[in-house]
Chain A
């Protein structure tokens, strides 16, 4: 019995340690610009892994992740602007609560969008989510409470050790929970729907319920990511949640490998860092080659590894033999 408890706690300890190490390093060796990139990495890891649940594991195609992120960001920002129970020094303690609210709002939106469109087979979801993302952006643009085109300002937000820890703890939690989900009976149900929806329903899988479940969970984490975004940038603007943002997340997922959480984490890190890492190049050449090289890299990767960097394999499947066997036992 103690062994099982240890097994369920091990993941959380790992998340805790990783988040602590990253935030400690961020505050010792990195400048504010690099810290900002670090925050974006945490946010993008959450976005990419959660989108992978729907696109990679469940075999549906969602194109509106930025919309759910926007809902989470605005919901959390509005709550935080009107409800600050703790003083300025301690406000970071309530950030997880804001993120939870952002996630729940986005999850509800996911249910409303997913319920009608996931009953159908095929590409309806792509069209519906694409439209949904744009609708959310336009609504925010015209909503007075949300500040319209000017957006929201003065959102409580910090980029210090605690805030960084908060961001990476959420990113780690996202990966851990999604990992556990896909390695459970529910995860096998997701995969069976991806592989063959008719066969799955003939084996007793409620495919609509399964797809909606994946979609709502995915939206929840996108909303939580939005909340973290809101509380690091301190301001929100509808233009941060354009269609391109959704496409960026799809790129991370496809680049890393559909159906691989490890791949999504790597994809998120690469797609966040690559454009920034190419910035110094601009100083030498005086021409903005950044996006050219960025897109060439993506094209080359897709030619050489069409199923993404990892395909559908996870970290424990790419280890060398003896290590892989150890991981399989653990």
Chain B
């Protein structure tokens, strides 16, 4: 089990945002996390990535509890996320954004940076080659030196995914990667997500409102509503589940 949430709850004052959530992710799985607005999906991401700490329950990363870990340590262990409201380093270039994620594997120390040792040049050129490879996969090699914040929304979303990939994740958390994209962009993104999952052999947990995307690529879907997991299963099972339909559309009132 790559990641396991055991009875995880988080309360903000009296507000129970997530209540006894259980979730297991195996290596290589592609799981969709869906639910109406305010269901607690992004909060779940914040818990997994260590920005919030659970009020109860525990989160296990490859069998070990991550309760004592800071967000950056969890990222270094291979759980890397993107953000719903894009959080690129907007005044840095696209390339620099990608290189920041690689800093954790930086092969040279401060002295080598200050006195430009052999390792500095070797690492920097390796970083650049790796970053360019990733950018090429996403057809972003044309904007390498552009300021990240000046690019169109859809492009920024893709850069966020590349930035996350550059940190060599085992589990990639994508928070609404298709938000603000048109149909053809979403279709392209679907292919890309499947491709990176195959090529990088990673697990993906995906929050998405675009049902076509979710149903199209996820083999398992978890539905959250008001902080509680109300359903879990294959896309077909989820589509037929009356509780899910109720959460999204409400119940028909009998006259």
A198 and B70 CA atoms in complex are apart in Å by 11
Q: Which residues of A contact B90 (CB under 8 A)?
A: 195
Chain A residues near B124: list those with CB within 8 A.
Answer: 184-185
From 96 to 119 in chain B, residues with beta carbon under 8 angstroms from any chain A beta carbon are 96, 99-104, 106, 108, 110, 113-118
Q: How many A-B residue pairs have CB under 8 A?
A: 107
A185 CB contact (under 8 Å) in B70, B102, B163: B102
Chain A residues with CB under 8 Å of B10's CB are: none
Contact pick for A195, options B51, B91, B115, B121, CB 8 Å: B91
Are B71 and A186 neighbours in the complex by a CB distance under 8 Å? no
Bound complex: CA of A94 vs CA of B88, how far in Å? Answer: 48
Query: Are B72 and A185 closer than 8 Å at their CB atoms?
Result: no
Contact B75 A192 (CB under 8 A): no
Range, interface on chain A: 20 to 34
User: Of residues 185 to 225 in A, which have CB atoms within 8 Å of B's CB atoms?
Assistant: 185-189, 191-192, 195-196, 198-207, 213
Interface residues of A in 167-195 (CB under 8 A from B): 177, 180-181, 184-189, 191-192, 195
Q: Which of B108, B114, B120 has the most CB of A within 10 A?
A: B114
In the complex, whether A235 has a CB less than 8 A from a CB of chain B is no
Task: Give the contacting residue for A196; candidates B76, B87, B96; CB below 8 A.
Answer: B87
Interface string of B74-85 (1 = CB under 8 A from A): 011000110100
Among B89, B99, B164, the one with the most A-chain Cβ atoms within 10 Å of its Cβ is B89
B110 close to A205 (CB less than 8 A): no
- Flag if A191 contacts B108 (CB, 8 Å): no
Q: Which A residues lie within 8 Å of B118 (CB)?
A: 1, 4
- Bound complex: CA A203 to CA B91 (Å): 17
A8 / chain B contacts, CB cutoff of 8 Å: 115-117
Instruction: Take A180-B113, A189-B100, A198-B87 as given contacts and tell me if A203 and B163 are in contact as well, using a CB distance cutoff of 8 Å.
Output: yes
Bound Cα distance from A30 to B101, whole angstroms: 51
A199-B88 in contact (CB<8A):
yes
A203 contact set on B, CB distance < 8 A: 72, 75, 80, 100-101, 103-104, 163-164, 167
- CB <8 Å contact, A191 and B72: no
Chain B interface (Cβ < 8 Å from any Cβ of A) = 49, 51, 70-72, 75-76, 80-81, 83, 87-92, 96, 99-104, 106, 108, 110, 113-118, 120-121, 123-124, 127, 163-164, 167
